[in-house]
Structure 1
Amino acid sequence: MSIQLDHTIVRARDKYASARFLAAILDLPVGEEFGPFVPLHLANGVTLDYMTVDQPQPQHYAFLVDEDEFDAAFARIRDQGLAYYAEPGGGRPGHINHRWGGRGVYFDDPDHHAMELLTRAP
């Protein structure tokens, strides 16, 4: 068997609100709650399992999307009036990047997790 990432826990102050936030940006359904988790299923079989905690520590999550998905998600980011950046850590606010011949953008979720959309990976 090859080694694959199956799921990861995303710690949030409100698992429902955080899962809905990212689901709305990525145009994905929020899965049914199970145990302490609210899942968001990605196309490659990986699940983001949102869990409520008192003090989440910000992490980074990057999502490889196609050009049409990028356009749609980026439009939703702008429509919601979210701050976005071309570089990690908030560099080049209000811009996107063009790394590896594609496009990329960073934005924060409600718990200050750095979310990234990119159309090409290195």
Structure 2
Amino acid sequence: MTSKKLQVIATDKAPAAIGPYSQAIKVGDLLFTSGQIPLDASGQLVEGGIEEQTHQVFRNLQAVLEEAGVTLNNVVKATVFMKDMNQFAIVNGIYSSYFGDHKPARSAVEVARLPKDVLVEIELIASTVVE
């Protein structure tokens, strides 16, 4: 049996972890991102509402994926955490604009609170097998 080594993925094009975790971990052919919140690369919360926050989350996710050598087209599963499910249609529209025709499996849940009281957090699982 072959051992699968864990590889830490880190980029300065997305906010540094604000706790004891990595931006992403690669093991075998899979990449697991930590949940990204709407902080810019310097760690500052973006101004604005759900639209601005969701776009920043996707910029962060794209930066982490890029560091691992993949894109949103490699995503196989997304989990979306929202403070208010009434904003789902807005988040869903922005989500769709980033994924286009690619439709990974997804879960979306409303939560009572997110880090730094942001409105949205998204985590991804991607395949690192580029086709």
Using the size of structure 2 for normalisation, the TM-score is: 0.28
Higher relative contact order (CA 8 A, sep 6+): 2
Using the size of structure 1 for normalisation, the TM-score is: 0.29
| Structure showing the higher helix proportion among its residues | 2
